Amino acid sequence: MIWFPYTQMKTMKEPLTVVDAKGVYLYTEDNHKLIDTTASWWSKIHGYNNPHMNKAIIDQVNKFSHVMLGGIKHKPVMELSKKLESMLPGTLNNTFFSDSGSVAVEIAIKMAIQFFINKKKPRNKIMSLKNSYHGDTFKAMEIGDDGDYHNIFSGGQNTVLTDTTIEDLEINFKNHGDSLAAFIVEPLLQGAGGMKVYDVSFLKRARELCDEYEVIFIYDEIATGFGRTGNRFVSDLVEPDIVCLGKALTGGYLGHAVTVANDKVFEGFYGDDQDLAFMHGPTFMANALTCAAALKSIELFEQNDYLGKIKNIQTIAKRELSDLCDDRIADIRILGGMFCIEVKEEDTLKGFSEFAYEKEVYSRPFLKYLYATPPYIITEDELVHIINVYKEWFSKK
């Protein structure tokens, strides 16, 4: 049988069976046509069954679907690495491919730790944010702090957590700066830790402190990259030393991720000594289908004013949620293509998914967070419908 994610299998409700998907809609076996508010965990920015995306993948399948990157390169990976190099700011020029976001984060941290080993000044500590989520692999869990059962794998003597206040950040750099290999953040928007939003001034100060203490600044833009915060990348605002991208990288059509390092980090591995080399190589890194999908996804993103579409989502969400007021609501947060209602008690959201399903909306709140990260192609009517379903839920109780 299928072992489902993040779920107690004994008490789990029967999952929906999707038989077709197009645009923002999921079509279920029992004849529902649901607006997907999650974009399949933030990834499906063009929606489902986009003919351009389909064609790009099919065209590549008809050439070859995969060839290992060990000792071999191919046109899609060459084009994609060049494209990312031209899109990303500064010297974020050196792209390491992998198969998922969690692995991209592992790679970033491994790079940071080895960077200092290569310099013969080893540093093991990693600083991350309170409420952070960076994936489900071991190091990613260790540095994570997302308030659910991952906590049993979190922390340890090499992990430092900071608030998103400049005051706390400065104290932590003062106390740990000299032993930190890296500071990793989900920039501006923390997803699975509760859709928390913080100010760009924090990133600017963090950049200064990373420079002062020679700490590698890592952005986990797996969720925020490709527009979700309203910026193409948060890296466009304040530059990190390493950035991880995933999810929307391929438009959500195939799983893939990248860890892109700037020249300073890359040069720490470059030399005549084989021991300096970065010893990593997932079997499916730079898979040709995923590279073809990513190239087409980026083309669609650039040619169809996606930043304008994301701005509209934000404007409509702000307008429609402005009159939602209920004692059970703790906070409403809206940023770019994300909106979230945080409630005071988890119980307030019990049964919401089933309620939404009857109204033709697919929503999967977690803990105290009712959130939407829809495909960017969503229309105004569809957005208004989602938010009306939220409003009905709060008005009925």
Ligand X SMILES: Cc1ncc(COP(=O)(O)O)c(C=O)c1O
Applying CB under 6 A, the residues found at the interface with ligand X are 41, 100-102, 105, 133-135, 186, 191-192, 220, 222-223, 246
Q: Residue 56 CB: number of other CB atoms within 10 A?
A: 25
Q: Residue 323 CB: number of other CB atoms within 10 A?
A: 7
Clarify whether 48 is annotated catalytic.
no
Residue 105 or 300 with smaller CB distance to ligand X = 105
Q: Walk across the sheet containing 338-343 and list its strands.
A: 329-335, 338-343, 369-372
Q: How far is the CB of 103 from ligand X (least distance, A)?
A: 7
Q: Per-residue DSSP letters for 205-248?
A: HHHHHHHHHTPEEEEE-TTTTTTTTSSS-GGGTS--SEEEE-GG
Question: Which residue out of 247, 296, 309, 368 is catalytically annotated?
Answer: 247
Question: Which residue out of 133, 198, 362, 376 is catalytically annotated?
Answer: 133
Q: Residue 80 CB: number of other CB atoms within 10 A?
A: 24
Q: How far is the CB of 35 from ligand X (least distance, A)?
A: 21
Q: How far is the CB of 133 from ligand X (least distance, A)?
A: 6
Residue 98 or 118 with smaller CB distance to ligand X = 98
Question: β-pairing, 125-129 with 180-185?
Answer: parallel
Q: How far is the CB of 96 from ligand X (least distance, A)?
A: 15
Secondary element (H or E) of residue 292: helix 288-303
79 closest CA partner among 100, 60, 62, 102: 60
Q: How far is the CB of 310 from ligand X (least distance, A)?
A: 17
Name the residue with tokens 């953040």. 185
Residue 57 or 192 with smaller CB distance to ligand X = 192
Residue 26 or 223 with smaller CB distance to ligand X = 223
Q: How far is the CB of 176 from ligand X (least distance, A)?
A: 22
Clarify whether 247 is annotated catalytic.
yes
Dist CA 230 CA 224 (whole Å): 9
Residue 23 or 225 with smaller CB distance to ligand X = 225
Give the residue closest to ligand X by C-beta: 101
Q: How far is the CB of 214 from ligand X (least distance, A)?
A: 25
What would the two tokens of residue 341 be? 């209602």
Dist CA 44 CA 359 (whole Å): 22
Clarify whether 318 is annotated catalytic.
no
Query: Is the separation of the CB atoms in 225 and 245 below 8 Å?
Result: yes
CA 196, chain centre distance (Å)? 13
Dist CA 231 CA 310 (whole Å): 9
Dist CA 88 CA 235 (whole Å): 7
Question: Which residue out of 99, 145, 146, 220 is catalytically annotated?
Answer: 220
Residue 53 or 129 with smaller CB distance to ligand X = 129
- β-bridge mates for residue 161, sequence order: 128
Clarify whether 381 is annotated catalytic.
no
Dist CA 122 CA 351 (whole Å): 50
Rg (CA), the chain: 21
What's at 44, amino acid-wise? K
Residue 226 or 394 with smaller CB distance to ligand X = 226
Which residues participate in catalysis according to the annotation? 6, 133, 220, 247
